[in-house]
Amino acid sequence: MFKRITYCTMFLSLIVSCTSASGAEQIKLNVGTPYNYVHTTDGKQNVWIRVGLTGSKMESEKKRPPVNVAIVLDRSGSMKGEKIQKAKEAAIQAVDRLDPQDIVSIVTYDTNVSVLVPSTKATDKNAIKKKIAGIKASGNTALFAGVSKGAAEVRKFLDEERVNRIILLSDGLANLGPSSPGELGALGANLMKDRISVSTLGLGLGYNEDLMMKLAAKSGGNHVFIENADELADIFNKEFDDVMSVVAQNLKIKLKIPEGIRPIRVLGNDADINGQIIETRLAQVYSEQVRYVLVELEIPAGQKDQRLPLGTTSVSYRDMKTGDIKQQAKTDLSVKFVSGETADDLIKFSLKEHILEDIVAMVANERNKLATTYLDDGKIGLCIQTLDENKLWLENNSLKLKSKKLETYYKYNDAQLDQLKNNKKNLARKAMRAVQSQIDTQQRYQQSGNDK
C-alpha cells in the first residue's frame, strides 16, 4: 500500500491553472495533482489531488471579524497549585486582547459547572478578570458538561459573521457525564454544524489525548499538548492570534468527479463521498493559512495522449471581511496519459514539489496514526518498526524535495521514537496525537515541546 502510493505520486502528472479571479478574494483555491502526466497502463491506477485553500493576509487586526469565544477552564482537583494559577493568568491576558465588540464567556467546571461569566460584550474587562482571579480548584472533571455549557453561552450570540469558538483547557480525564472520545468527537462534529469550533488545550500528562484531539478535530478547532504550565500564556496567546485572524468561515468544498473515475478516500478532513460527489467542510481558514485536503482517485486505463478530466472543484465560504457568502470553482483539472521514451522525463519535469510534499506529509501522518494503533494494541515492536520506516521515508523525501516541512516531521517522528525507546509511552502518545491533528488540520501553531 505504502509502496503503491509512492509509485503513484512519483509518476503522475498535472495540468492545472489556478489563478484567482480577483485580488479581493479572501480565499485562493488551488487544485492540482503532483504530476501533469501519467503512464498509460493496462489497468487502473491511483491519482492524488490536492485541494488547497490559502487565506489572504488580513489587512489589519483592527479590521478583524468580531469573535464570540467561550473560555472553558478545568478547575478540578488536579489543577491545584501552579496549573490553575497559570491558567488564570493566561485567561486574564487573553481577555485583555478582546475589543468591546467581541463576546466572551467564562465557564469553569469540576464536578459541577459554573457559568462564571455568562456571554457578554467584552466592555467591562476588569469585572471579568476579577471573576477569573477568584477561581479555585477542586472536585471531579465534568468535561462534557463544561463544553456543553460553553456551547450554550456561545449559542446565545451565535452569528455566522463572528468567529465562534470554545477554548477548552483540561489536564485530566473526563470522569463525570459522557466521557468517551466517541461522544466528545460527536459533540465536536455537531458543534461544527453550528459553526462553533472547539480548541482543546491538553495540560500535562494526565489528560485523554484521544478525547481532546477528536473534540478539536471534529469541530475544526486546534489541539495542543502543553507539557508545562509555563507555556500556557504563550499558547493562549497563539490561540487568540488564530481566533482573531479568521478570514473565511464555513467552507464547503465540493468535488464532482466524472463517471468512470472512482473516489477512494479523502485525507486531512472528514468527507462524505456520495457517489461521484465528494463533499467536505472546513470550519475556517486563518489569515495566510494554507489549508488543504487530499483526494485519492482511481482512474481507468487510458490511451496515449488522452487527456482525462478529473472533474470540477468548487468552494463556498463566508467572507469574514464583508460577511458575504462567496464561491469559487476550478473546472480544468486533468491528467494526460503518456508513454514511450520521453514519458519518464515528461512526468519527472512536471513535478509540483509543494504538492508532493503535502502528499508525503499526510500519507506519513496516516502511517503515524497506524503506529499509534499498534501502540494501543500493545504491539510496541511493530509500532517502533512503523515509526522507523516512516522516519526513513520522510528523511528521503525531505532531501529529495528539499522540504523543511518534511524535515520537521521527520524530527517529530524521531523524537517520538526516542520517547518510546526510553519507555515514555504516555508522553510519546500525546505528542503523536497532537502532531497528527496538527498535520491533518494544518494547524498554525504548535506546542514548543515538540520542537526539540
Q: Interface with other proteins includes 194 (CB under 8 A)? A: yes
**Piece of the chain touching other proteins by CB under 8 A; list 35-43, 187-195, 233-241, 407-415:** 187-195
Number of residues that bind other proteins (CB under 8 A): 36
Return d(Cα 12, Cα 1) in angstroms, integer: 17
Closest CB 134 distance from other proteins, rounded Å: 11
Comparing CB distances to other proteins, the nearer of 38 and 151 is: 151
Q: Is 340 left (phi over 0), alpha (psi -120 to 50) or beta?
A: left
Which helix (DSSP H) or strand (DSSP E) does residue 381 occupy?
Answer: helix 380-400
Short-list 95, 94, 74, 115, CA closest to 203: 74
Q: In what order do the strands lie in the sheet with 312-319?
A: 271-274, 277-286, 246-256, 312-319, 325-330
User: Could you give phi then psi for residue 364, rounded to 5 degrees?
Assistant: -65, -35
**Piece of the chain touching other proteins by CB under 8 A; list 2-10, 146-154, 353-361, 388-396:** 146-154
The SS3 call for residue 206 is coil
Which helix (DSSP H) or strand (DSSP E) does residue 42 occupy?
Answer: none
Q: Interface with other proteins includes 183 (CB under 8 A)? A: yes
Using CB under 8 A, which of 19, 22, 60, 274 touches other proteins?
274
Grid look-up 523525501 returns 397
Q: Interface with other proteins includes 180 (CB under 8 A)? A: yes
Using CB under 8 A, which of 11, 37, 144, 292 touches other proteins?
144
Return d(Cα 365, Cα 417) in angstroms, integer: 14
Closest CB 279 distance from other proteins, rounded Å: 8
Q: In what order do the strands lie in the sheet with 163-170?
A: 113-121, 103-109, 67-74, 163-170, 197-203, 223-226
Comparing CB distances to other proteins, the nearer of 119 and 403 is: 119
Using CB under 8 A, which of 148, 284, 365, 441 touches other proteins?
148
Comparing CB distances to other proteins, the nearer of 316 and 339 is: 316
**Piece of the chain touching other proteins by CB under 8 A; list 22-30, 139-147, 301-309, 340-348:** 139-147
The grid coordinates listed for 207 are 489528560
Using CB under 8 A, which of 16, 128, 143, 176 touches other proteins?
176
Short-list 245, 311, 303, CA closest to 278: 311
Contact 317, 326 (CB under 8 A): yes
Comparing CB distances to other proteins, the nearer of 85 and 276 is: 276
Closest CB 99 distance from other proteins, rounded Å: 26
Comparing CB distances to other proteins, the nearer of 75 and 330 is: 75
Q: What residue spans of 117-223 are helical by DSSP H?
A: 125-133, 143-156, 181-193, 209-219
The SS3 call for residue 382 is helix
Return d(Cα 417, Cα 293) in angstroms, integer: 27
Q: What is the largest CA-CA distance in the chain?
A: 75
Closest CB 218 distance from other proteins, rounded Å: 10
Closest CB 172 distance from other proteins, rounded Å: 16
Contact 109, 142 (CB under 8 A): yes
**Piece of the chain touching other proteins by CB under 8 A; list 47-55, 59-67, 173-181, 315-323:** 173-181
Comparing CB distances to other proteins, the nearer of 13 and 141 is: 141
**Piece of the chain touching other proteins by CB under 8 A; list 159-167, 182-190, 396-404, 430-438:** 182-190
Q: Taking CB under 8 A as the criterion, which residues in 377-416 touch other proteins? A: none
Comparing CB distances to other proteins, the nearer of 17 and 138 is: 138
Using CB under 8 A, which of 14, 15, 79, 147 touches other proteins?
147
Q: Taking CB under 8 A as the criterion, which residues in 97-116 touch other proteins? A: 107, 111-116
Cβ-count burial of 345 within 10 angstroms (0-12 exposed, 13-18 middle, 19+ buried)? exposed
Using CB under 8 A, which of 155, 405, 411, 424 touches other proteins?
155
| Contact positions vs other proteins (CB under 8 A) | 107, 111-116, 118, 138-139, 142, 144-145, 147-149, 151-152, 155, 176-178, 180, 182-184, 186-187, 189-190, 193-194, 272-275
